[in-house]
Structure 1
């Protein structure tokens, strides 16, 4: 059964960037773990604070900047950024090594007429080829790390590095997202020239099960270059850690971190909060499901209209909406439904 998800409405961005589509066709409600979670809870139920952080950072990116979505899976984050900001302003690259999942990522791009590029490759510390281990449980846990999950098989895949890809494409990444199932340290090791030249903002998953000795070695040069390590949480301000202190804050509830090349400002936190409130409104009741083979209704993804007036200050009830949305997500987590 085809599934479309509602995109978050941000009048500030529409006023500055122009209208963007109100929905995204993700093709299926159950083909992958990500699609199943979107069907159960909408965008609000899939890493909403990470989404808000990525969209707020993309909002600040200079025109012509690149966005790297490393470990893109079906390309949800690439599709979000491309839908909202992809009208020639940002160049988004979705790196996904699993052949079937990369194919689905391309199909989602085509079905929504988006412009991001799918790069069917893993990313690590050195270019070449490597064995990708296919998780026995879910395709979202495929990894170059054979010890990450029990695997049912493997496939040989091409490998690039952030530095090699940046040089090859003459790209200027402003934002890099890394979610590669405990192989994040290797990706960071292969990105140091890019860090020196472009100083991208990096959103990186840090799992409790990762090799923290390798992570500490990879994070040390970033901290030496002035990067702060911030756990991404719903409430601001975010704490700052260094490479020796971050591990005590890594947990199942705090997996995604912002590796920031500059201090986090109140304006940044306000932008994240505004996106988060909009994302939390996109719950499962806003999903659009149609019977197999049936088209979506007319104008299902028509652009949001421009705001009738210039966006004003944050509404006083926004904190209540944020708390209510987070409470609903906590209730969903307590139900413990897996992918």
Structure 2
């Protein structure tokens, strides 16, 4: 019944009527309402913007539509702002677990000299990622890659589609089956050891962060990239991650609504999942515009 209702609400005439009614009603429930418009547009500083297609299928585009050009939560806005700040003078940005490309597109829009590589493992997400690249006329600098980033070379198979409604945003390399789309797995040491620096990363791999770092030892040693990284409560190798990164001079800051909170230990939070991982000093982070808090 829920899927039937969702399909009905995404029919163009019904969607237009539902959106008009929802806008005049009180409450915050509207952001869950699917909307069938061609594009949502995220507003960036300096009058720039990024367009995301098919908001009836992409939950990020839907969120931006109902947020009048902004992400819904301050924590999410801070995470994107950090990625943009780290990328303003970068040569390369890696969006690992890109979904439909928001981070890669935003940093490439802000820095005209940067090349962004957007890694995604779900076939239908990858196609919409490409569509977004074309809508934003960034095909020369944003490079979608149907590749799993992991600790060893290999191959996984991921079903092309995960649902008949919104595109799945929480698929990981552990979803590999004996059928589906063949997706190569590669290491960052092989993919980007010699990429132009500085390098910045966004990592959203549903608990497999350390597997990414397993294949990135030389890459991390060489580039010391600034990172925005999601850490879930089900992630099992966080102590290993802290040991590896701490040995390279990294510190970690929990991204909160009010700013970036320095922490001695990475402890996953159910609602505030994102962290900054960086070798930069407090003074350097403040100079980039990051609000450091206790």
- Distance in 1 separating the partners of 2:114 and 2:251: 25
Cα distance in 1 between the residues matched to 2:94 and 2:254: 20
Q: 1: CA distance between counterparts of 2:281 and 2:66?
A: 36
**Structure 1 residues 61-76: aligned runs within 5 Å:** 61-62=89-90, 65-76=91-102
Instruction: Please state if 1:43 is matched with 2:106.
Output: no
Q: Counterparts of 1:270 and 1:143 in 2: how far apart (Å)?
A: 32
- Cα distance in 1 between the residues matched to 2:117 and 2:286: 24
What whole-Å deviation, never above 9, does each CA across 1:30-50 have from its counterpart, x for those lacking one? 112222222222323161110
Distance 1:253 1:193 in 2: 32
State the partner residue of 2:239: 216
| Cα distance, 1:125 vs structure 2 | 0.7
Alpha carbons 1:4, 1:23 under 8 Å: kept: no
CA contact (8 A) 1:189 1:218 kept: no
Q: Does 1:205 align with 2:216?
A: no
- Quote the Cα distance in structure 1 between the aligned partners of 2:206 and 2:122: 13
TM-score by length of 1: 0.66
Residue 4 (structure 1) aligns with: 40
CA contact (8 A) 1:176 1:200 kept: yes
Tell me how far apart the structure 2 counterparts of residues 234 and 83 of structure 1 sit (CA, whole Å).
Answer: 24
Deviation at 1:216, TM superposition (A): 1.6
Q: Does 1:246 align with 2:270?
A: no
Post-superposition shift, 1:81?
0.8
Unaligned regions of 5+ residues in structure 2, if any? 1-36
Higher RCO structure (Cα 8 Å, ≥6 apart): 1
The RMSD of aligned alpha carbons is 2.5
Q: Find 1:93's aligned residue among 110, 117, 120.
A: 117
> Can you give the 5+ residue segments of structure 1 that lack an aligned partner in the other structure?
11-20, 274-339
CA–CA distance in 1 between the matches of 2:99 and 2:118? 8
Indicate the SS of the match to 2:158.
strand
Q: Secondary structure at the match of 2:183?
A: strand
Please say if residues 68 and 173 of structure 1, whose CA atoms lie closer than 8 Å, have aligned partners that are also in contact: no
Deviation at 1:236, TM superposition (A): 4.5
Alpha-carbon distance in structure 2 between the residues aligned to 1:239 and 1:267: 12
Match of 1:107 in 2: 131
Q: Decide whether aligned partners of structure 1 residues 175 and 113 sit closer, same or farther in structure 2, where only a CA change above 3 A counts.
A: same
CA distance in 2, matches of 1:102, 1:138: 10
Q: Which string of whole-angstrom CA distances, capped at 9 and with x for unpartnered residues, describes residues 290-332 of structure 1?
A: xxxxxxxxxxxxxxxxxxxxxxxxxxxxxxxxxxxxxxxxxxx
Out of 144, 169, 181, the residue aligned to residue 140 of structure 1 is 169
Question: TM-score normalized by structure 2?
Answer: 0.75
Sort the Cα spacing of 1:232 and 1:269 in 2 relative to 1 into closer, same or farther, 3 A: farther
| Distance in 2 separating the partners of 1:119 and 1:268 | 33
Looking at structure 2, the residues matched to 52 and 208 of structure 1 have their Cα atoms a distance apart, in angstroms, of: 24
Q: 1:13-61 CA distances to partner (integer Å, 9 max, x unpaired)?
A: xxxxxxxx633221222112222222222323161110111111112x3
Compared CA separation, residues 160 and 23, structure 1 to 2 (3 A): same
Q: Distance in 1 between matches of 2:192 and 2:243?
A: 22
Structure-to-structure mapping, 1:1-339, within 5 angstroms: 1-10=37-46, 22-41=48-67, 42-45=69-72, 47-59=76-88, 61-62=89-90, 65-85=91-111, 87=112, 89-114=113-138, 115-132=141-158, 135=162, 139-146=168-175, 155-167=181-193, 170-172=195-197, 174-211=199-236, 214-236=237-259, 238-241=261-264, 245-247=265-267, 250-265=268-283, 268=286, 271-272=289-290
